[in-house]
Amino acid sequence: MRLLVTGGAGFIGSNFILYWLKKYPKDTIVNVDKLTYAGNLENLSSIKDNNSYAFVKADICDAKHMNTLMEGVDTVVHFAAESHVDRSIIDSDPFVQTNVLGTQTLLKAAINHKIKRFHHVSTDEVFGSLELNSKEKFSETTPYDPRSPYSASKAASDHLVRAFYHTYGLPITISNCSNNFGPFHFPEKLIPLAITNILEGLKVPVYGDGLYVRDWLFVEDHCEAIDAILQKGKVGETYCVGSMTQDVPNIEIVNQICALMGKNPGEVIEHVKDRPGHDRRYAIDFSKIQNELGWSPKHSFESALKSTIEWYRANETWWKHIKTGEYKEYYDKQYQQ
């Protein structure tokens, strides 16, 4: 099988490519990535000489280039997206351009080349926010209610993907996943930010009261979920992909990281001004993918967090190279008191 992976130099995309080529060495992958600030080819240095892998630097909004790249492709796995809520609040333009218009460009090219499967990777943030201390969870039937420019742009892309299925018969599947973490996670997100700041002897910024709840999914489990959807998922269906964490607030996540790294949370945590429209709680009911496709997360949060911390300890060069220049400017602006 020949796959076109968009955004394959990013966090989840690069983990997926490494996972797929290890499990399916006879398949070939073309990775197309614009290499914006979060795209990093160092993530894929271990396979750069693999004959089953090729990288193309391109913008998914470039229709001519996307049509060329889809020649002979069986499956498209679409990760490419602007994905950071904080950055979408600062400037929403790149989010609409990439997440909405870029997805439309790919869908049109997929129709032209009669792609056998177009899998769209989305987020639980399109469903909005849940109340703290409630038992409610997001599912495939939850109405869309995005609260940030990022989640709104992803919601729009989800609707486009479904429209191309109903209107043109494009064989699509969609997955809406919870917050991922693991190796190669760009250190502007909570878990890698906390780990790397502690390693640097810096404070860890925590928004507001720190009681925001996310459903933390280890990236390898996510890769296996996408694999299950591609192999056994029903065309036209959506699958919610969640984890086994049970309403753990962000402040507790940072406390656990501090404990595992031998730090006193009171000396490390720095509460900062909350961001606008901050969603209180996410939680996912993944019973559909579990019951229909036999997938469930294999990793406990505790074991995955330990291995993630060890990865950042062992790969200091990777993240220190990132936390300079544009990242430093963004960080200083975002967390200024």
Q: Which residue reads 């860890």 in tokens?
A: 204
| Known catalytic residue at 168 | no
**Could you tell me which of 221, 239, 228, 20 has the C-alpha nearest to residue 120?**
239
Closest CA to 44 of 34, 31, 57: 31
Whole-angstrom distance, CA of residue 50 vs CA of residue 187? 28
Which of the following is catalytic: 82, 86, 150, 227?
150
Distance separating the N- and C-terminal Cα atoms of the chain = 51
Please, which residues have CB within 8 angstroms of residue 233's CB and are 6 or more apart in sequence?
173, 239, 293
- Please check whether residue 250 is in contact with residue 272, taking contact to mean a CB–CB distance below 8 angstroms: no
Annotated active-site residue in 33, 82, 86, 125: 125
150 catalytic per annotation? yes
| Cα 245 to Cα 281: distance, rounded to the nearest angstrom | 12
Token pair 């700041």 in the structure block, residue: 197
**Among the options 33, 59, 86, 124, which is catalytic?**
124
CA nearest 2: which of 46, 56, 53? 53
Question: What are the catalytic residues?
Answer: 124-125, 150
